[in-house]
A = this chain, B = another copy of it.
Amino acid sequence: MKPIEKELTGKHLIGGKYCGAGGRFRGIDPAAGTELPTAFCEAGGAEVNCALELADEAFEILQTVPVKKIAGLLERIAAGLEAGSAAIIERAQLETALPAERLRSELARTAGQARAFAELALDGSWAQARIDHAIPGRKPLPKPDIRTIFMGAGPVVVFGASNFPLAISVAGTDTVAAFAARCPVVAKGHPAHPGTCELVARVIAEAIVWAKLPPGMFSLLQSSGYEAGLALVKHPLTAAVAFTGSLKGGRALFDAAAARPAPIPLYAEMGSVNPVFILPGAAAARAEGIAEGFVRSLNTGVGQFCTNPGMVLAVAGPAYERFLTAVCKNASCIPPAAMLHAGIQKAYDCGTERLSSIPGVKLAGTALGGASRGAGPKMAVCKIFTADAALLRRRPELSEEVFGPATVIYRCKNTAQMLEIARNMPGSLTATIHGTESELREQGGLVRALQRKAGRIVFNGFPTGLEPCASLHHGGPYPATTHSFFTSVGTAAIYRYVRPVCFQGFPDAALPEELRETNPRRVRRLVDNSLK
């Protein structure tokens, strides 16, 4: 398989055709603070409309395509990403300042996700076919034949994240999940990595041609502002929207989706504070080990992970002091690093300044010489703050996420105070508990409190580093997401883009294959209340 052409056009890619003229914005090298070659077009209403009309036409075609073609497309996208990896990683590195090694593993994960959804589509059991056979002689009324299956909801709009330019962007989980559900995708390119978006979109468009699928099933629109995104959310043909990014951006789009004449689901994953609870036994037994793992987790990807641990709760005492000392020591060795773009860097600086300015919050540790490093633009410096846990109740803004390698370590009086904090905190993607097994048994109340507040609870581990498998849930109560039922990573992400369709009294031949009596695709089904 030939790698994709690496020359950038700066144009949109709408239904397989490059279009647009007059580049208006450029990618920025965040490490150097300089503009990169190639100016990108700004999508307007015409492009939004064109992309969604093509998507709408493609949707109907996709409903009749053999599943093997859908799976073939996803496999081809995976292979295309791998074949084009040199050009994609080169550009992504320029646009994001992420290390090549990290981007290589992210590309591998992205290809792996596409293959996982190919497998899911081929298997077909995800669609949860349900059948209730007719009972014509039932009294007082006959029971009709009723069969239901999840089917694609319609054209999907995808807003990728800046922090995962491959795995949660143009060919990320949202796009391949929507394809697996036979839904077309209109991706809005992230303005922090527009060139990467174009190269990845090219891989998808070429795979669609190769698979002989309708080119309208995919478009990439480039845009540096808010208008194009809002227009995509408000367009009457859009059936669902995926967004990964900031609370402010996600909430604005959620509000727009809810205010439509016909509201649509907007699945936003907006990150969270991801609290870490260190129980006394664990702290006493391995304060230094936890500290080391914690600082590594805090600084993964320069702290730019949705699951970054921004809050630690531990019980005051000698073990707490050992933990704090070890955290500060580890943090002092973390070299400052460029963030994804100037906006994130600015938000990090403001956020950490805001923390510093709260009476009772103390800067306890930071990267050595970080602030004084003179060369290049500003860089993010890992910062460790401490505070008394009682402060959390008085200053609710402490529960807001500061995106980047900063954390606050709270001294709790005891585990009862920990529990009270857990019960009153906002929603998070994750919560982590470090403890001995007997402590975990004793702290059943803490686990139950966290079940209400987090999508994933990690025991004796760290929240960063997602395993995109069938069992993963990457979601959580607001503000982590706008709907905690759904996940944005893992194969269960397909449920964002489907809805049940129920067929009553249909002749067998007119039913979707999965619902036919002979079950030609051999999918798992719930038949007359028993799983078969």
List the B residue with the shortest CB-CB distance to A116.
B529
> Residues of B contacting A460 with CB < 8 Å?
505
The answer to whether A473 and B458 have CB atoms under 8 Å apart is no
Whole-angstrom distance between the Cβ of A216 and the nearest chain B Cβ: 16
A153 within 8 A of B: yes
Whole-angstrom distance between the Cβ of A152 and the nearest chain B Cβ: 9
Q: Mark A132-164, 1 if CB is under 8 A from B, else 0.
A: 100000001101101110010110000000000
A509 within 8 A of B: yes
The answer to whether A458 and B130 have CB atoms under 8 Å apart is no
Whole-angstrom distance between the Cβ of A370 and the nearest chain B Cβ: 28
Whole-angstrom distance between the Cβ of A29 and the nearest chain B Cβ: 28
Partner of A146, one of B444, B471, B529: B471
The answer to whether B458 and A504 have CB atoms under 8 Å apart is yes
Whole-angstrom distance between the Cβ of A523 and the nearest chain B Cβ: 10
Whole-angstrom distance between the Cβ of A153 and the nearest chain B Cβ: 7
A49 within 8 A of B: no
Q: Which of A427-483 contact B (CB under 8 A)?
A: 427, 437, 440-441, 444-445, 447-449, 451-452, 454-461, 465, 467, 469-473, 475, 477-479, 482-483
Partner of A144, one of B467, B492, B524: B467
Cα distance A259–B478 in the bound complex, in angstroms: 13
> Residues of B contacting A69 with CB < 8 Å?
none
Whole-angstrom distance between the Cβ of A413 and the nearest chain B Cβ: 22
Whole-angstrom distance between the Cβ of A131 and the nearest chain B Cβ: 6
A503 within 8 A of B: yes
Q: Which of A342-378 contact B (CB under 8 A)?
A: none
The answer to whether B262 and A254 have CB atoms under 8 Å apart is no
The answer to whether A448 and B64 have CB atoms under 8 Å apart is yes
- Chain A residue total in the interface (Cβ 8 A): 81
The answer to whether A507 and B437 have CB atoms under 8 Å apart is yes
If A130-B471, A146-B471, A440-B510 are given as contacts, then 11 extra A-B residue pairs at C-beta distance below 8 Å, sorted by A number, are: A60-B449, A132-B472, A154-B452, A254-B258, A255-B258, A255-B259, A258-B258, A262-B478, A456-B503, A469-B529, A485-B499
Q: Which of A43-77 contact B (CB under 8 A)?
A: 59-60, 63-64
Whole-angstrom distance between the Cβ of A214 and the nearest chain B Cβ: 14
Whole-angstrom distance between the Cβ of A440 and the nearest chain B Cβ: 5
Q: A448-B63, A478-B263, A484-B153 are in contact. Are A471 and B502 (CB under 8 A)?
A: yes
A283 within 8 A of B: no
The answer to whether B465 and A141 have CB atoms under 8 Å apart is yes
List the B residue with the shortest CB-CB distance to A437.
B507
Partner of A502, one of B259, B426, B472, B477: B472
Q: A154-B452, A465-B141, A500-B473 are in contact. Are A459 and B146 (CB under 8 A)?
A: no
> Residues of B contacting A151 with CB < 8 Å?
451
Cα distance A479–B455 in the bound complex, in angstroms: 30
Q: Which of A311-329 contact B (CB under 8 A)?
A: none
A1 within 8 A of B: no
Q: Mark A498-518, 1 if CB is under 8 A from B, else 0.
A: 111111111101100000000
The answer to whether A502 and B484 have CB atoms under 8 Å apart is no
A9 within 8 A of B: no
Most buried by B among A448, A465, A469: A469
